[in-house]
Amino acid sequence: MQLIEVNSASTTKDFIKVNVLMNKNNPNYIRPLDNEVNDVFDPLKNKAFKYGEIKRWLLKDDNNKLIGRIAAFTNSKYINKGTEFITGGIGFFDCIDDDAAAKILFNAAKQWLQNKGADAMDGPINFGDREKWWGLMVEGFENAPIYNMSYNPPYYEKLFENYGFKNYYNQYYYSMGVKDKISDKFPERYAKFKNKPGYEARHISIKNLEKHAQEFATVYNAAWAQHGEAKEITVKEVMKLFNKMKLVMDERVIWFAYYKNEPIAMWINIPDLNEYFKHFNGKLGLIEKLRLLWMKKNNNCRIFTGVAFGIVPKYQGLGIDSFMIYEASLPIQTLNWYDKYEMGWAGDWNPKMINIYKSLGASQSRRMVTYRYIFDETKHPFERHPVMEYK
């Protein structure tokens, strides 16, 4: 077998191709957009390059056939509570069902990361945001992946665990029908806040994106500061995200809760873009964009998905989540916009978020695993991700 570094236009194309080859027999597979994968490795488009570097490889057999790929990266902003040692990341792993082939790929990543001073590697994860291509799918293969969700053949679990990776944490996805009955607790809590002066919940206006970007940053940074994982986001970064989403953004499913006009909670959703992209075979040129607009106009996307959820710590545990979600549900459930709601992943270390999903009446649709491989467990014994402490 031949291990080849990705460092040219042809090897970059092959890096994309491997993922397609490994999933070609799965009818539920949806090819990610080529440009979105390539952007991860572009220093001009991925802010993570400010804090780390990346290397990627292809694997070919003796007949020059593509049989695998992997990326390894360092990122000083990748912080997990309870981890005091340098941890690198691996991602974009694909491989034939062969432990020897997988070992070559994992060893290449391990050696490179050790040379960079890392004591462990987590994966498969993304070189960047956690809502994209994070974790290995181990349950839920019968469902097509939603936008930016990792998707892989079932045997990958064996390849990771046979090499020595251990389950660092589970990631749970939940889903429900839009018209499914919501627990009676939601309207009860809604009524409580609806009658209190100063409390409001409303969806955004695309005309006021700069205002909403500020609100997003306020809630996001406050909600995640308590977890100690350096996830602070700037208004500029949020605006960049909003502008990127603008073509497909549906203001009716992006909600904030306020107290005296100050943002205290958010529930950010978008249409499931894979409902469009599954027709595009990885491309998004002018023709695809025009087709997307036509499909959007004709309400072809019947699924919306969760992107971010957060409550300012001072208001957690009071029922603000129920107030905001129920206010949003009134039009969403009664008007014929969508049929299904797919929620973003929640780690098993975030039980409150999982309980919110369950309280809505949602059912678990998928399970992913973020694995950890410690290079020397006599130096750093393996421990699972600690449960989130709420302040």
CA distances from 279 to 132, 194, 223, 285, 287 (A): 20, 43, 37, 13, 12
Please answer whether residues 151 and 365 qualify as being in contact, where contact means their C-beta atoms are separated by less than 8 angstroms. no
Per-residue pLDDT of the chain (391 residues; tens, 9 = 90+): 999 999 999 999 999 999 999 999 999 999 999 999 999 999 999 999 999 999 999 999 999 999 999 999 999 999 998 999 999 999 999 999 999 999 999 999 999 999 999 999 999 999 998 889 999 999 999 999 999 999 999 999 999 999 999 999 999 999 999 999 998 889 999 999 998 999 999 999 999 999 999 999 999 999 876 555 556 789 998 998 899 888 889 999 999 999 999 999 999 999 999 999 999 999 999 999 999 999 999 999 999 999 889 999 999 889 999 999 999 999 999 999 999 999 989 999 999 889 989 988 999 999 999 999 999 999 999 999 999 876 6
Residue 381 backbone phi and psi in degrees, to 5: -60, 145
Supply the pTM of this predicted model.
Answer: 0.90
For the stretch 220-226, contacts whose Cβ atoms lie closer than 8 Å and that sit 24 or more positions apart, written own/partner, are: 220/266, 220/308, 220/310, 222/310, 222/312, 222/313, 223/310, 223/311, 223/312, 223/313, 224/310, 225/313, 226/313, 226/389, 226/390, 226/391
Tokens coding 387: 């449960």
Contact present, 82 and 381 (Cβ < 8 Å):
no
